[in-house]
Amino acid sequence: METVDLARLQFALTAGAHFLFVALTLGLATLVAVIQTWATLTRSPVHMRMTRFWGQLYIINYAMGIVTGLVMEFQLGLSWSGLTEFAGNVFGSSLAIETIVAFFIESTFLGLWIFGWNKLNRWAHLALIWVVTLTAYASAFWILISNGFLQNPVGYQLKDGVLRLTDFGALVANPAALVAFFHIGGGALVVGGFLMAGVSAYHLAKRTAEQDFFRKSLRIGIAVALPATLFTATFGGIGFDTLQPTKLAAWSGSARQMAEAQAEMVAAHGPGDYLPSLEWVRTSGIIMMSLFALLFFVSGASFLLMLIRPVVRGFRPWHWLLTALIPVPFVTMIAGWIFREMGRQPWAVYGLLKTADAMSPVSYGQIRFSLTAFVTVFAVLIVVNYWLLARTARKGPGEVALGDDRPAAETPAPALTF
């Protein structure tokens, strides 16, 4: 592998890992905020317990989202300084806005939500989770404005070999960004809804003590997942109108379209190979769409099944199916990202800067070192965190630390001697 391939692999793995956690963060935050609203309005104890249980899963997951996100943010300057120098004045603006307008507040208020449980007024506490949720979406929005610019550059002027921002409105109204934002926002709710339904189904199948708790949760999960699946697919469909000609040609697989797209690019940019990898684009696209079909049929059927109470209580094959499907929305989303990003190649900024020219002047050895280190650390952390998520989900609401009035001492405190 060349140095640039290693740098790409490093970014792809970081971004992929980040997105696994971020998607669930967005989806679960929304669900938790809605449930906490109900709990606050009605003072329903079961909904308060639901807030704590699903909130606990949300936080375990959130921590991984932060640490992968940090590495991703810094990686732009670390290994892609060619990109930041060339396009930083444009796509860096939305990154800056993301950190200041969204993430700063999200993170500060999340800390207050976690540690201020039982300390703050309950309406203030409710307001916090809503701010955290809305700023999470704002974060996703501004990141996708940056990503959308790389896919479909707008609102800029090329001067002295560097881009400058000339039209902020065009940058924000970029269809390649907006359509993706709605597509991904919907996808996050699919992830969250299926997780909630799947975990609940596990407890219903196992006939654990919390039948009422998980019957309610299962219904919420499915009721969100079905419309979210349709919403996501709608914007995915609209998204095809915003695809680059080369990506579209590779997706179609038609030799004529590919030759046309290639010829157009050669005419505009000089000789070179301008088509993305056919296999990556087609395989990831097909995986995304077939898994969507699966999720759509299962959530549709589940929506009908959940209306019948004895079925919700006792139809075990359906329970096991829902539990087994928990990972599927994650795979679908990652496939979607591969489709989007591999299809942009060989460009870092479509039509303006090639990926090979976007790299920092760093050596093969440096990237190999960082890639090895990040992969090792993240592999361990991802395994540990998924194991903890599964364990916490399996144990059920009885042992949730979040919002506990008196955190248990881990060991009996020895008598103090002076």
Partner 1 sequence: MEILILAFFAIGYLVLAGADIGVGMVLPYLGRTPGERREAIAAIAPFFLGNEVWLVATAGVLAGLFPALEGSLLSGNYSLVVALLLSWVIRDMGLWLRGRLPGVRWQGFWDGAVVAGSWGLALSWGSLLSDVLLGIHGLLALLPALLVAALFATHGLSFAALRLRGALRERAAVLSGDTGEGRTYALTATALVAIGVLAGFRLPLAPGTSGALLVPVILTMIPLLVASQAWVWWTFRHRVTGPSYL
Shortest Å distance, C-beta 40 to partner 1: 19
Quick one: 15 or 165, whose CB is closer to partner 1? 165
Quick one: 109 or 194, whose CB is closer to partner 1? 109
**Measured between alpha carbons, how far is 388 from 34 in angstroms, rounded to an integer?**
24
Shortest Å distance, C-beta 2 to partner 1: 17
**Measured between alpha carbons, how far is 342 from 173 in angstroms, rounded to an integer?**
24
Quick one: 297 or 369, whose CB is closer to partner 1? 369
Closest CA to 346 of 407, 261, 228: 261
On whether the CB atoms of residues 329 and 191 are closer than 8 A, the answer is yes
**Measured between alpha carbons, how far is 356 from 372 in angstroms, rounded to an integer?**
21
Quick one: 324 or 377, whose CB is closer to partner 1? 377
Quick one: 131 or 191, whose CB is closer to partner 1? 131
- In the DSSP assignment, the letter for residue 6 is H
Shortest Å distance, C-beta 158 to partner 1: 12
- In the DSSP assignment, the letter for residue 157 is E
Quick one: 74 or 297, whose CB is closer to partner 1? 74
**Measured between alpha carbons, how far is 173 from 193 in angstroms, rounded to an integer?**
29
Shortest Å distance, C-beta 384 to partner 1: 7
Shortest Å distance, C-beta 318 to partner 1: 31
**CB neighbours of residue 88 within 10 Å:** 18
Shortest Å distance, C-beta 354 to partner 1: 17
3-state secondary structure of 143: helix
**Measured between alpha carbons, how far is 37 from 73 in angstroms, rounded to an integer?**
33
Shortest Å distance, C-beta 21 to partner 1: 12
Closest CA to 61 of 22, 113, 33: 22
3-state secondary structure of 327: coil
**CB neighbours of residue 44 within 10 Å:** 14
Quick one: 69 or 336, whose CB is closer to partner 1? 69
On whether the CB atoms of residues 29 and 133 are closer than 8 A, the answer is yes
On whether the CB atoms of residues 319 and 202 are closer than 8 A, the answer is yes
**CB neighbours of residue 342 within 10 Å:** 21
Shortest Å distance, C-beta 120 to partner 1: 7
Shortest Å distance, C-beta 319 to partner 1: 27
Shortest Å distance, C-beta 19 to partner 1: 17
Quick one: 160 or 212, whose CB is closer to partner 1? 160
**Measured between alpha carbons, how far is 185 from 339 in angstroms, rounded to an integer?**
17
Quick one: 104 or 297, whose CB is closer to partner 1? 104
Rg, C-alpha atoms of the chain = 23
CB-based burial label for 414 (10 Å; 0-12, 13-18, 19+)? exposed
**Cα atoms found within 13 Å of the Cα of residue 124, Cβ hemisphere only:** 9
Quick one: 230 or 381, whose CB is closer to partner 1? 381
**Measured between alpha carbons, how far is 158 from 87 in angstroms, rounded to an integer?**
9
